[in-house]
């Protein structure tokens, strides 16, 4: 995993896999204090993921 330091934040790229499909997302901020991970809905829709509303 390559990690980049830019604008006082850590960034990386990730590959998401879901039901045999894959996409690469760039410029993902690494937040070491976060309890959850969020992705832009428009970015993951091509994988066929469903939106969960809580």
- Rounded Cα distance, 47 and 11, in Å: 22
pLDDT reported for residue 50: 77
Which residues in the chain show pLDDT less than 50?
Answer: none
- Rounded Cα distance, 40 and 45, in Å: 9
Every domain of the chain and the residues it spans:
4-47
Prediction pTM value: 0.74
pLDDT reported for residue 6: 95
Answer for the pair 4, 10: CB distance below 8 angstroms, yes or no: yes
pLDDT reported for residue 49: 83
Torsion region of 14: left, alpha or beta (phi above 0 gives left; psi -120 to 50 gives alpha): beta
Calculate ∠ Cα 11-47-4, nearest 5°: 10
pLDDT reported for residue 9: 94
């Amino acid at each position: 995993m390559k990690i980049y330091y830019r604008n006082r934040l850590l960034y990386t790229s990730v590959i998401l896999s879901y039901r045999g499909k894959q996409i690469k997302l760039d410029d993902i901020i690494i937040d070491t204090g976060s309890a959850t991970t969020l992705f832009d809905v428009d970015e993951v829709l091509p994988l066929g993921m469903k939106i969960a509303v809580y």
